[in-house]
Amino acid sequence: MKTIKIRPIVEGSVEGEALVSPIPISFLGGVDSETGIITDSENPLFGESIAGKIFVFPESKGSTVGSYVIYGLSVNNVAPLALIANKAETIVVAGAILANIPLVDKADQDVTLSIKTGDKLVIDTTEEIVKIKKVE
């Protein structure tokens, strides 16, 4: 099992399956807050749901309203288990705080290259680590 160091922003310990976006995502217009489905047709994950997954992405883009989309995911019970970003901007931080979704960033390596969709992850913000069990 591989371990990477992270910076916790919104605390929490979770285990789950990774869903990895290789490109930045806009939560406003890129994710449906009622279903959790990625609606950005330019994203390779178009049509996939982030609900119940640990969503991994390089960074966000777009409007500050994205914070409310993240909160809406929680209200509609389709939120991700956690968020892992290379760089978490204010939009994502505010949304994760409002929705109480664990959020980490600034790993000691590029998370979009170290983690693959389907990998089993354990996030421990107390220890400041993510454990990665590679999918075979």
Candidates 49, 63, 74, 114; catalytic one = 63
What's the whole-model pTM score?
0.96
How many domains in the chain?
Answer: 1
The answer to whether residue 21 is catalytic is: no
What's the rounded Cα separation, in Å, for the pair 37 and 3? 29
Per-residue model confidence (pLDDT) at position 73: 98
H helix and E strand count, the chain: 4, 8
Question: What CATH number does the domain containing 111 carry?
Answer: 3.50.30.10
Give the range of the structural domain holding residue 55, as residue numbers without chain letter.
2-133
Q: Which two tokens stand for residue 95?
A: 């949304």
Does pLDDT of 135 surpass 80? no
Summarize pLDDT for 57-101 with one digit per residue, the tens.
Answer: 999 998 889 999 999 999 999 999 999 999 999 999 999 999 999
